[in-house]
Every structure is written in structure tokens, then in C-alpha cells.
Amino acid sequence: MISIVKTSGGIIKETFAALRVEMQKVRHSKTLWITALAFAFITIICGLFMFILKDPEQARRLGLLGAKAQIFGGTADWPSFFTLVLVIMSIGGLVIFGFIFVWIFGREFGDKTVYDLLSLPTSRITIVTAKIIIAFCWSVALILLVFILMLVVGAILQLPNWSAVVVFDGLGQMLVTGLIAMVLCIPFALVASVTRGYLPAVGCIFLILVLGQVFSALGHGQYFPWSVPGLYSGAAEALTGEASTPIGPVSYILVGVVSVISIVTIDIWWQYADQT
């Protein structure tokens, strides 16, 4: 019993040490600020649409921009603001979150630090676990950044229909949409590991986005896991103006299956792959 406790304590201590190392890498990387600026830019653009919608005359003078704002937002109020951000996040989230996972795993090969990393006494599974946890924490922090910026932008624009229910419901939908997108980005980390670099994994991200649009257009998006964030957030309906395909338990099960298989596979690959 004592040996089990000591072993568990050693694993926890090892995991926290690996997390500290990964956190230091993120803190000293420009990628952290690039992703933060990307999400801040998305939020400001959504605020711009809300600003245009508050003045229909100006929206008509702007022509296409006004038409796009009408498609996405509908009316300039808090519910529409959250809907618009969800639409953008369901698409942009896969790209930015995917890039985070790709960078965290691919940088070790790009910077040639993988050999030093694997020479440490820390187990490879612990290293992979720490990387995935940091990627999730990083992504959640970006969602919270967007939420805070939304509150600031919405207050400046004095958007109507504010209520605690609307705000917390919007935050909940943002977190769920983001969580679905995050777990679907783990396969990109696997691609970055297997190919030992960034470009093939980034190419997979954009290929998946295209396939997601194709499956959604064919009416089978609920069976393609990477279409689920867009269907859940209402992105497909907002973009096309038509009712989107409803998602059910099967969609969420497929998302879970993809994430579990990806985690197991990436653990196995890092555990047994020849890194010499």
C-alpha cells in the first residue's frame, strides 16, 4: 500500500514538473501572443458587425459588408453578438486550436529538441499528457479572453437585451463549442508527431475544414466529427440561412471516439516510435 502511494506521488510530481516545463515553453513563445491577437481580432470584427447593424443606413451604404453583417448577426443585441462569435469560433477555433496542438508537438522536431526531451528521466506518456493539458489550458484561456473582450466591446456599443441568463448561456455555449473543437484537434498533434513537423499537420487542418463543409452541404455533417462544432454553434444555419442538420448522441459519440483513439495512438507512438 505504501509503495502504491509512493508511486502515485512520484507520477503526480513528475507530471507537475513536465507541466512546468511545457508552460515555460509557451510563455517564452511568440505563438502565445499570435493566437491571442487572432482571437482578439475575431472579437473586434464581430463587434464591427454589431456596430454596423446598429445603423442600417450606414450598413446599406457599405453594401456587401452590410449584407454580410445582416446574414451573421440579424440584429445588434447581446444574443446576436454571442451567436456571431460562436459561428466564427466554430470555424476559426479548429484552425487556431489546431495550430496550438500542432505547435506544441511539432516544435520539438522543428527545433531539434525532441532528442533532449526524450533523454530526460520523465516518461514519454507523462510528456504527452503534459503537452495535451497545456494545449487545453491555452485554448480555454483564449475562449475566456474572447468572452472578456466581448463584454468590453458590447458595453462600449451599448448593445440591448443584456441579462445574466444571456451572458452565462453564451459563455456556456462558447466553452462547449471550444471543447468540442479542442478534442478534435488532438489528431493534428498526432500528425505533427508522426511527420515530425508542422506543414503536413497544418495541411490536414485545412483539408478537414474543406471536408467538413462538404459533409455539411451534403446533409451528413452529423456523421463527420469535425462538422459537429459548426452544427452545434449554428454556423451552418447562419452561413446558409437554411435549417442545419440536427445533431444527436451519435455525433457526440463520434467526437469522443476520435479523441480517445487519437490520445491512445499518440501515447503509443511517443512510447514506441524510434526517435533516433
Predicted pLDDT at 21:
83
Predicted pLDDT at 212:
85
Predicted pLDDT at 53:
78
Burial class (CB in 10 A: 0-12, 13-18, 19+), 133: middle
Burial class (CB in 10 A: 0-12, 13-18, 19+), 28: exposed
Predicted pLDDT at 75:
77
The tens-digit pLDDT sequence of the chain (276 residues) is 444 433 455 567 778 888 888 888 888 888 899 999 999 999 998 888 888 777 666 656 655 455 554 555 467 889 888 988 888 888 888 899 999 999 999 888 877 777 666 666 678 888 889 999 999 999 999 999 999 999 999 999 888 888 889 899 999 999 999 999 999 999 999 999 999 888 899 999 999 988 988 887 788 888 899 988 888 877 656 554 555 567 888 999 999 999 999 999 999 988 887 655
Please enumerate in sequence order all residues whose Cβ is within 8 A of that of 182, keeping only pairs 6 or more positions apart, or say none. Answer: 93, 97, 135, 136, 139, 140
Could you tell me the three cell numbers for 59?
Answer: 450598413
The answer for 112, left when phi > 0, alpha when psi is -120 to 50, beta otherwise, is left
